[in-house]
Structure 1
Amino acid sequence: MDRAEPDTHTVIVSGSPNPASANTSPATIETVTSKQLSDTTNVINVEDTLKYFPSILVRKRFNGDTQEPVTSRTTGLNASARTLIFADGVMLSSLVNNNNGNGSPQWFMVSPEEIDSIDVMYGPFSAAYAGNSYGAVIQLNTRMPQQFEATAKINVSNQNFDLYGTSQSYKSGALNATIGDRHGAFSWFISANHLDSFSQPITFGTVAQSSKTATTGLPVINGSTADFNRTGGAIQVISAGNLNHTIQDTAKVKLAYDFSQQTSLSYMLGYWKNSASAQASTYLSDITGAPYYGAASGNVNIGGYSYSAATLGGQFASSNTQQEHWMQSLSLDSKNNGAWDWNAVLSNVNYATDLTRSSTGLYPTALTSGAGRIGDASGTGWTTIDAKATYRPGSGPVAHTVSFGVHADQFKLISPTYNTSDWLNGGEGALYTNSIGKTKTEALWLQDEWRVSPSLLATLGGRYEQWKVFDGYNYSLSGSGTGFPVHQPTVTHNGFSPKATIAWKASELWKVSESLGRALRFPTVGELYQNIQTGTTYTQANPYLKPEDVTSTELAIERKTKESRVRISLFGELVSNALISQTATISGYPTPVSFTQNVDKTRQRGIELVMEKDNAFINGLELSGSVTFVDAVILANSSYVPTIAGATSVGKHTPYVPDWRSTLIATYRPDAHWAFTLAGRYTGRQYATVDNMDINPATYQGFQSFFVADLRVHYQVNRQWSISAGIDNLNNEKYYLYHPFTQRTSYAELKYSY
């Protein structure tokens, strides 16, 4: 179906881009439409749609990855709770943790074919959003039909991966279908998605280079590769791990009824199922050429040095995951465009089933049987309630627009792990570890947009929040088999976050805005109730972590013409009590260990340049891109304990925040049928430790700079049919962001629209 395309430029808006979104926003916003995505971007999963946004990176390791945190200007890959992600008002951010694991967003609850547009808001400058917005707010806006429509799309991809002892192709395929219609006041929309994907190795088995010469008679083992770890220590790479096969299904139903032209009620129900298995593959072989996986005891000879066979055996593991998640929302909207507008959204995400079975025994027996553990996150989930109203008491060149609302949420983390005698099919045995708890937030906010003059708009607002963590419980099993249960205390915090923006339209072409905002980012259950391994046992964490206290600023200057746009943003951020994992001592244990703590103060400041030009040099050529530089440093850190003499964290680069990021996209449309896109993405150096001791980034567990080029060709055959093909990582860059990332990957797509 033909649709008019909305303005896709950055704007300072006085109303939400989508009625389901939480609120008016005085901040800088970047937008992309479904038409742009179809022409320019190779998309298998919905998170692929964000790959060219300024300063944004989603850690997608393979198609079907469920651990995909998002970065922003000043936040890194392990900080999932510093960005808010919504789909039509439903929170997809998993604020049960702040990491790149179980805190990752529920991207998979949205099918790419649902997307109408995507908005990314930078900085905590809107009073309607919690302090988790200080990185960014991402709104996935989906569509409802105006008449009968249907789509069907098939995607296939193939990755050629070559690293260490692995040289193989990994394929994936996705089927998408939608159907919907409107009958008078009633409209409905159904979407379904099926994904079948194989990943490259996500981990590698490594052991430290031995200094002990092998004695005569030890079994000789071949196939390892000498390398260095991220701190420069010599290692041997012996295996590829976490080779994933993932099958996922997503289904969603959306219903809407218009009581009048001004008022509508909508309901959404989403379901996601994931069946995944992961195995390891050895690079080692004995003198007969048979695969070698280590042993329970003894030593072996690798390259003339002696290695523990049990240590080698510990590098091999398998896992099976079964997940079923449900998402639903109920929304009531008024669209009067008069003195009053209002919106209310109730949403819930529930992990009905979330089981991961993993082996702990030796390969190859552990491939088919043996002891293991069962992690059960079933019952984890959250409920959110948002209600807002907008009041316009007058009209004319000088006027106020007052928005206000209430918010409530409750997040629940359940994460017991059990021992089992049969990791594939056995029942839950003795409890091994457990971390559970709940957080609750209640908030009131108020924001006034004051049109001081036709060219000057001032926005003042504030958000008051009350936060509580309760029902916390930890359990850990020591090496001797003794269990240690701990009932954690109830903790509360509250605070007020003021916001202010002034925007001046200097002329028809120029716009200048200055924003200032405070944000309080309260700890997640996972940060408060983490189990910390100390030797052969676990120790409970600090349940009294303070909230992150963030002060952010942005000066944005924008020049916009009919065919071009340039924006420069100078931004700064000062964070007190930043929640970062680092080494420190635990009472009763002499060796420093790593866990999440409050770092006294960090400072991030930088500049972002965004550019767009239509009909650049020749008609039909569109150029766009961005460059971001960030100076991110730790200013004070009283709790840090060095593990190496002389190490310090003060003055070091804030972990996981790259210094440089850039994108450049060129799309040529010679006619209404063809679109040719060549794009590049660059991310600079970043560190994973507060003392920046990870000096060797180009290795497994390192974080290195990278540049990848992408290609896409889209052909619109007619109104119904389209064909696309493309390549991501055209230059076959081999890089690590802790894990090895995808190498050159080709795509093909066929779509039918009615």
Structure 2
Amino acid sequence: MNTLPVCSSLSPSSPASAVSRPLRLHPLLLAVLCAWSGSTLAQQAAASDGSSEAATLPTIEVRSSGSVAERKQLPQTTASVTADTAANSINVTDSSDALKYLPSLSVRKRYIGDTQSPLATRTTGVNASARSLIYADGILLSALVNNNNGNGSPRWFMVAPEEIERIDVMYGPFAAEYPGNSYGAVTEIATRMPQQFEASIKAQYAQQDFSQYGASGTYRAQEYNVGLGNRRGALAWRFSVNHLDSYSQPVTYITATSLPAGTTGAVLVQDRTGKNLYVLGAGNLTHTVQDTARLKVSYDFTPALTATYTLGFWQNQASANPQSFLKTASGATAYTSGFSSNDVDQQQWMQSLELRSKTGGEWDWQLAASTLSASRDLTRTSTATFPAGQSGGAGTIADASGTGWSTVDAKGIWRPQGSAQVISFGAHVDRYTLATPTWNTSNWVSGGNGTLASDSRGKTETSALWAQDVWRLSSSLKATLGARYEWWRAFDGRNVSTSGSTVFAVNQPEVSHSGLSPKASLAWALADDWVTTLSTGRALRFPTVGELYQNVLLNGVYLQANPNLKPEKVWSTELAIEKQ
């Protein structure tokens, strides 16, 4: 893919590494929170005094510019990328691109503007979006309403690349602060705030030439971003808007085991088992137009107490159409039942409010709440014969409006004076809502809802308490112990499916689970420039609301999810040896 920045500081692609160091709470289980946890080391070890040769563990300085692992003293191995590194060595078209050269990570981004871009890690794949976590300024971007490479993909588009200050990726479930979804990795995106008035404008153009199975094309994308920001005394704000207009290469292919009668032009290939397969055409050539707006406002009540409010809005208008390789005897383009079109109309809102102390002294704390919801999410799909049905005819309307999630967190950190310990603790509550009815319609382009074809609904809720402690046992040895206890339940589940005129409706039972996730880590400075860390931890990954209740249409038959899934129980251990 070739890209051309216009009036922009966007840098060309580079294979160089961009890696840098970096509700219902249950009081009777508070005793669990006497466990300890701590941090993996990310700075060079220093001698305990000028005359000693003994290796010592580094003192972690609490500062806003450091990585998340440094600031929070977390035990995970960490890789980071800063805004300067991204600008100088990475071709960034959206926020997910900034991760592309970090180790043991892969974002399945098929084209510019792809809304189905899950994060894969060294222990999880592209079909397991709920096995990693992505945050932006503490706002959860991971769509834990499902665990797939579709509607469970992170909401990367809620953060513009121009806003990013740094990104930290922490590997493994070794910090009690994060839920069991962290057993792949945790990505923390920090956005910047202006120190004085600033204004920016960027225009970007990209194109790619694509050819496969004898069909070829040139697919273009253009993007515009405008940003404004200022700081006056205690008040700082930043506002940005982004517009994207992009065309994709073929995303899928229509295949058959035999050549349709009376046609030519299909491409004969072999499937993964070696059997013959005919490629009849390309599918889901997508044209997407997206608009994003984001406002972030902060106010310093005192030098040590700051409130931050974030508001984000995203909308997407997309259409996907097929391309047939088939020809009739007269040379006209031919189509079969596998060819269809769909249109997408989406609007999503994101909000968060945070109050944080930053004394760096004996006590600090944080209160934060966030929500992300779909105010409109319609997918219109044609079931009429293509191309006659391209301008109308029978189809379906899938409506995911109302699907979303909300989170609340309270966190504290205690640095006892004269002690070798740093103790952190917190409480967490979240709720996820799934609502995805699908309606039949007489006109898939502009018609209203007809009869109900299927429906998937439900909610999940999690409450958690956690604590962790960094304990310096000696000048060269740090111990890490921690624990997280979670209470989870799924409720209000309902599934509806149809077969002809017969309707099958099921109210699903409420289910609940709970459990303890202990963590432990030990870091030893072998020498001034060598540190080895052994970490182990348990993770409970509770089912997403989609895994419990989302119907799946396969070959015209609705398959119901399993409403009785149990949590994934993961034990993860890592030995890391680091030379600075």
TM-score, normalised via structure 1 length: 0.68
Structure 1 residue 536, shift from structure 2 partner: 5.4
Provide the C-alpha distance between the structure 1 equivalents of 2:527 and 2:69, rounded to a whole number of angstroms.
Answer: 32
Query: Could you say what secondary structure the match of 2:76 adopts?
Result: coil
CA-to-aligned-CA distance 1:509-549 (integer Å, 9 cap, x gap): 11111100000000011111132558754353321111000
CA-to-aligned-CA distance 1:28-64 (integer Å, 9 cap, x gap): 1100001111111111111111110101000000000
Q: Give the aligned residue type for 2:156.
A: W
Q: Give the aligned residue type for 2:423.
A: V
Tell me if structure 1 keeps the 8 A contact 2:435–2:456: yes
Asked if 1:486 is matched to 2:506, the reply is yes
Tell me which residue corresponds to 2:313: 271
Tell me if structure 2 keeps the 8 A contact 1:394–1:400: no
Provide the C-alpha distance between the structure 2 equivalents of 1:221 and 1:40, rounded to a whole number of angstroms.
Answer: 49
Q: Give the aligned residue type for 1:380.
A: T
Query: Could you say what secondary structure the match of 2:96 adopts?
Result: helix
CA-to-aligned-CA distance 1:170-206 (integer Å, 9 cap, x gap): 0101112211111000000011111110000001110
Q: Structure 1 residues 559 and 18, CA, compared in 2 at 3 Å: closer, same or farther?
A: closer
Provide the C-alpha distance between the structure 2 equivalents of 1:7 and 1:96, rounded to a whole number of angstroms.
Answer: 30
Tell me which residue corresponds to 1:259: 301
Tell me which residue corresponds to 1:382: 405
Structure 1 residue 18, shift from structure 2 partner: 6.6
Tell me which residue corresponds to 1:447: 468
Query: Could you say what secondary structure the match of 1:128 adopts?
Result: coil
Tell me if structure 2 keeps the 8 A contact 1:152–1:178: yes
Tell me if structure 1 keeps the 8 A contact 2:346–2:374: yes
Provide the C-alpha distance between the structure 2 equivalents of 1:535 and 1:203, rounded to a whole number of angstroms.
Answer: 16
Tell me if structure 1 keeps the 8 A contact 2:19–2:101: no
Provide the C-alpha distance between the structure 2 equivalents of 1:275 and 1:262, rounded to a whole number of angstroms.
Answer: 43
Provide the C-alpha distance between the structure 1 equivalents of 2:19 and 2:254, rounded to a whole number of angstroms.
Answer: 49
Query: Could you say what secondary structure the match of 2:493 adopts?
Result: strand
Matches within 5 A, 1:60-139: 60-139=109-188
Tell me which residue corresponds to 2:387: 364
Tell me which residue corresponds to 1:541: 561
Tell me which residue corresponds to 2:8: none
Matches within 5 A, 1:494-643: 494-531=514-551, 537-560=557-580
Q: Give the aligned residue type for 2:479.
A: A
Tell me which residue corresponds to 1:743: none
Provide the C-alpha distance between the structure 2 equivalents of 1:387 and 1:104, rounded to a whole number of angstroms.
Answer: 26
Tell me if structure 2 keeps the 8 A contact 1:465–1:495: yes
Matches within 5 A, 1:346-361: 346-361=369-384
Tell me if structure 2 keeps the 8 A contact 1:20–1:88: no
Provide the C-alpha distance between the structure 1 equivalents of 2:555 and 2:576, rounded to a whole number of angstroms.
Answer: 50
Asked if 1:319 is matched to 2:342, the reply is yes
Q: 1:414 aligns with which of 414, 432, 435?
A: 435
Provide the C-alpha distance between the structure 2 equivalents of 1:507 and 1:409, rounded to a whole number of angstroms.
Answer: 43
Structure 1 residue 76, shift from structure 2 partner: 0.3
Asked if 1:342 is matched to 2:365, the reply is yes
CA-to-aligned-CA distance 1:571-607 (integer Å, 9 cap, x gap): xxxxxxxxxxxxxxxxxxxxxxxxxxxxxxxxxxxxx
Provide the C-alpha distance between the structure 2 equivalents of 1:198 and 1:538, rounded to a whole number of angstroms.
Answer: 31
Q: Give the aligned residue type for 2:21.
A: H
Tell me which residue corresponds to 1:285: 327
Q: Give the aligned residue type for 1:447.
A: Q
Tell me which residue corresponds to 2:453: 432
Structure 1 residue 332, shift from structure 2 partner: 0.4
Q: Give the aligned residue type for 1:346.
A: A
Provide the C-alpha distance between the structure 2 equivalents of 1:535 and 1:323, rounded to a whole number of angstroms.
Answer: 26
Structure 1 residue 20, shift from structure 2 partner: 12
Tell me if structure 1 keeps the 8 A contact 2:69–2:78: no
Q: Structure 1 residues 554 and 18, CA, compared in 2 at 3 Å: closer, same or farther?
A: closer
Tell me if structure 2 keeps the 8 A contact 1:22–1:386: no
Tell me if structure 2 keeps the 8 A contact 1:178–1:189: yes
Provide the C-alpha distance between the structure 2 equivalents of 1:446 and 1:62, rounded to a whole number of angstroms.
Answer: 41
Query: Could you say what secondary structure the match of 2:444 adopts?
Result: coil
Which protein has greater RCO, CA pairs closer than 8 Å, 6+ apart?
2
Asked if 1:240 is matched to 2:282, the reply is yes
Asked if 1:392 is matched to 2:415, the reply is yes
Provide the C-alpha distance between the structure 2 equivalents of 1:116 and 1:81, rounded to a whole number of angstroms.
Answer: 25
Structure 1 residue 209, shift from structure 2 partner: 2.9
Q: Structure 1 residues 333 and 21, CA, compared in 2 at 3 Å: closer, same or farther?
A: farther
Query: Could you say what secondary structure the match of 2:406 adopts?
Result: strand
Tell me if structure 1 keeps the 8 A contact 2:255–2:279: yes
CA-to-aligned-CA distance 1:478-519 (integer Å, 9 cap, x gap): 1x3200000000000000000011111222211111100000
Query: Could you say what secondary structure the match of 2:302 adopts?
Result: coil
Provide the C-alpha distance between the structure 2 equivalents of 1:446 and 1:515, rounded to a whole number of angstroms.
Answer: 16
CA-to-aligned-CA distance 1:309-337 (integer Å, 9 cap, x gap): xxxx2211101101110001000010111
Q: Structure 1 residues 207 and 494, CA, compared in 2 at 3 Å: closer, same or farther?
A: same
Q: 1:50 aligns with which of 70, 95, 99?
A: 99
Q: Which moved more, 1:144-153 or 1:189-198?
A: 144-153
CA-to-aligned-CA distance 1:276-316 (integer Å, 9 cap, x gap): 001001111112211111xxxxxxxxxxxxxxxxxxx2211
Provide the C-alpha distance between the structure 1 equivalents of 2:122 and 2:177, rounded to a whole number of angstroms.
Answer: 20
Tell me which residue corresponds to 1:225: 267
CA-to-aligned-CA distance 1:453-476 (integer Å, 9 cap, x gap): 122111110000000000000000
CA-to-aligned-CA distance 1:673-710 (integer Å, 9 cap, x gap): xxxxxxxxxxxxxxxxxxxxxxxxxxxxxxxxxxxxxx
Provide the C-alpha distance between the structure 2 equivalents of 1:117 and 1:529, rounded to a whole number of angstroms.
Answer: 37
Q: Which moved more, 1:219-228 or 1:485-494?
A: 219-228
Provide the C-alpha distance between the structure 1 equivalents of 2:440 and 2:274, rounded to a whole number of angstroms.
Answer: 36
Tell me which residue corresponds to 2:10: none
Q: Which moved more, 1:464-473 or 1:505-514?
A: 505-514
Structure 1 residue 232, shift from structure 2 partner: 2.5
Q: Give the aligned residue type for 1:444.
A: L
Tell me if structure 2 keeps the 8 A contact 1:474–1:486: yes
Structure 1 residue 151, shift from structure 2 partner: 1.9
Q: Give the aligned residue type for 1:40.
A: S
Tell me if structure 1 keeps the 8 A contact 2:93–2:112: yes
Provide the C-alpha distance between the structure 1 equivalents of 2:566 and 2:235, rounded to a whole number of angstroms.
Answer: 48
Tell me which residue corresponds to 1:330: 353
Structure 1 residue 23, shift from structure 2 partner: 4.8
Q: Give the aligned residue type for 1:545.
A: L
% same residue: 52
CA-to-aligned-CA distance 1:246-269 (integer Å, 9 cap, x gap): 111111011000001100001000
Q: Structure 1 residues 155 and 409, CA, compared in 2 at 3 Å: closer, same or farther?
A: same
Unaligned segments of structure 1, at least 5 residues: 1-5, 294-312, 561-754
Q: 2:478 aligns with which of 454, 457, 470?
A: 457
Tell me which residue corresponds to 2:35: none
Q: Structure 1 residues 424 and 22, CA, compared in 2 at 3 Å: closer, same or farther?
A: farther
Query: Could you say what secondary structure the match of 2:526 adopts?
Result: coil
Structure 1 residue 26, shift from structure 2 partner: 1.1
Q: Give the aligned residue type for 1:118.
A: I
